[in-house]
């Protein structure tokens, strides 16, 4: 090892989903929305003057922040925006988790949480989900330095009810509780309604899933003003200009088109429920997903075998070779036609006689 390497911050990085570029492929592995962004987004993009790109964007991101505040019935000083919810969550970890007690999150959840904890030298402990992949509230009633819960959870899709979340908040008034709601628009009840009652609650959402803008990288957090001020203080100490001119303008346009947003999320929910029934008929088992994906397992066929067979057909899903979930595939809900092709393949594959 070179002398300078002993001072390098070494971490095991997050591994993102595969991003293949194949003609005719069906990409169901990264929970992207199969429908385009709202029409106003394309219109605003065409109308943008390239001249403005020579200027720094508004560091307060007021156009986007104000749009989100109106959408959720909050004040503008209750909104924080960043470059995707990953950026927002990483900023929250850096800002709020600086004690000696471990932060708590489930053992099966978004796999960036332990990466950030290790990166920022935050002690943490994983709490095991039960056999149905549900959180156990009693696991979060012990001393801790903070709590992070994805709801609906990833990659399982299971959503905890507001009463469960409220109970956890009541038991943890002296630490920050982050509810990561990347998939909340596809099912479940948002914890935004709890913000007035809890000054330690931070709710994080994203434009990447329900608003079809994963490529634009827009995320946001909502909470009481003091929490948002702390986040902004860290942001301005790190990078004042986190959001591009395009992100601010196009994000605001996406928020404005509520009818389109509701229509596309409803399409995905309807397709998800139909595919659940079809998969059940083919022998698959899965928790009741409230996300834009299904976390499915087949008792007679290994997940790895199915993953590789699908990949040969240029159908990409996500496989996690990890304890407790190595028998499951996470399947993004695509368009009806995409899901029909997937189901047709699975019907043929599961009908093969096996010893």
Of all residues in the chain, the percent with pLDDT exceeding 70 is 99
Q: What is the CA radius of gyration of the chain?
A: 21
Average pLDDT, the chain: 96
Measured between alpha carbons, how far is residue 314 from residues 306, 308, 339 in Å? 12, 10, 13
- List pLDDT tens digits, range 205-218: 999 999 999 999 99
Query: Where residue 352 falls among pLDDT bands split at 50, 70, 90?
Result: confident
Inform me whether the pLDDT recorded for 354 exceeds 80.
Answer: no
The pLDDT score that the predictor gives to residue 10 is 87
Positive or negative CA dihedral for 66, 290, 88, 252? negative
The pLDDT score that the predictor gives to residue 353 is 76
Residue with tokens 């595939």: 329
Pairwise CA distance, residues 64 & 213, whole Å: 14
Ramachandran sector of residue 324 (left: φ over 0; alpha: ψ -120 to 50; beta: rest): left
Closest residue by Cα to residue 188 from 153, 155, 213? 153
The pLDDT score that the predictor gives to residue 16 is 86
Q: pTM here?
A: 0.96
The pLDDT score that the predictor gives to residue 258 is 97
Query: Where residue 355 falls among pLDDT bands split at 50, 70, 90?
Result: low
Inform me whether the pLDDT recorded for 15 exceeds 90.
Answer: no
The pLDDT score that the predictor gives to residue 3 is 84
Q: What is the mean pLDDT of residues 293-307?
A: 97
Q: Which residue has the higher pLDDT, 17 or 225?
A: 225
Pairwise CA distance, residues 280 & 40, whole Å: 38
DSSP 69-133: HHHHT--GGGEEEESHHHHHHHHHHHHH--SSSPEEEESSS-TTHHHHHHHTT--EEEEPP-TTS
- List pLDDT tens digits, range 241-295: 999 999 999 999 999 999 999 999 999 999 999 999 999 999 999 999 999 999 9
- List pLDDT tens digits, range 95-133: 999 999 999 999 999 999 999 999 999 999 999 999 999
Q: What is the mean pLDDT of residues 176-182?
A: 98
Closest residue by Cα to residue 333 from 273, 292, 290, 276? 292
């Amino acid at each position: 090892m070179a002398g300078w390497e002993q001072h390098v911050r070494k971490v095991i990085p997050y591994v993102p989903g595969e991003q293949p570029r194949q003609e005719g492929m069906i990409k169901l592995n990264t929970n992207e929305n199969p429908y385009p962004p709202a029409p106003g987004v394309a219109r605003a993009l065409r109308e943008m003057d390239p001249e403005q790109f020579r200027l720094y964007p508004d560091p307060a991101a007021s156009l986007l922040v104000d749009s989100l505040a109106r959408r959720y019935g909050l004040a503008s000083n209750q909104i924080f925006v960043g470059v995707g919810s990953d950026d927002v969550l990483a900023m929250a970890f850096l800002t709020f988790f600086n004690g000696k007690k471990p932060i708590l999150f489930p053992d099966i959840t978004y796999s960036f949480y332990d990466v950030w904890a290790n990166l920022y030298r935050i002690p943490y402990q994983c709490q095991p989900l039960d056999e149905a992949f549900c959180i156990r509230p009693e696991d979060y009633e012990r001393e801790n330095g903070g709590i992070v819960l994805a709801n609906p959870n990833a990659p399982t899709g299971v959503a905890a009810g507001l009463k469960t979340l409220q109970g956890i908040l009541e038991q943890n008034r002296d630490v920050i509780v982050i509810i990561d709601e990347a998939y909340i628009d596809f099912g479940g009840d948002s914890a935004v309604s709890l913000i007035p009652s809890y000054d330690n609650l931070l709710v994080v959402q994203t434009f990447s899933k329900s608003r079809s803008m994963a490529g634009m990288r827009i995320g946001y957090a909502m909470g009481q003003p003091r929490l948002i001020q702390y986040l902004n203080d860290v942001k301005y100490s790190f990078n004042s200009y986190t959001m591009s001119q395009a992100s601010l303008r196009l994000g605001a346009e996406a928020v404005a088109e509520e009818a389109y947003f509701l229509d596309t999320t409803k399409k995905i929910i309807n397709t998800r429920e139909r595919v659940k029934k079809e998969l059940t008929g083919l022998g698959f088992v899965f928790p009741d997903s409230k996300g834009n994906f299904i976390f499915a397992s087949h008792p007679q066929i290994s997940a790895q075998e199915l993953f590789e067979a699908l990949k040969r057909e240029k159908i990409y899903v996500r496989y996690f070779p990890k304890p407790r979930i190595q028998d499951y595939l996470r399947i993004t809900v695509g368009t009806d036609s995409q899901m029909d092709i997937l189901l047709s393949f699975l019907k043929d594959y599961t009908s093969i006689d096996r010893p």
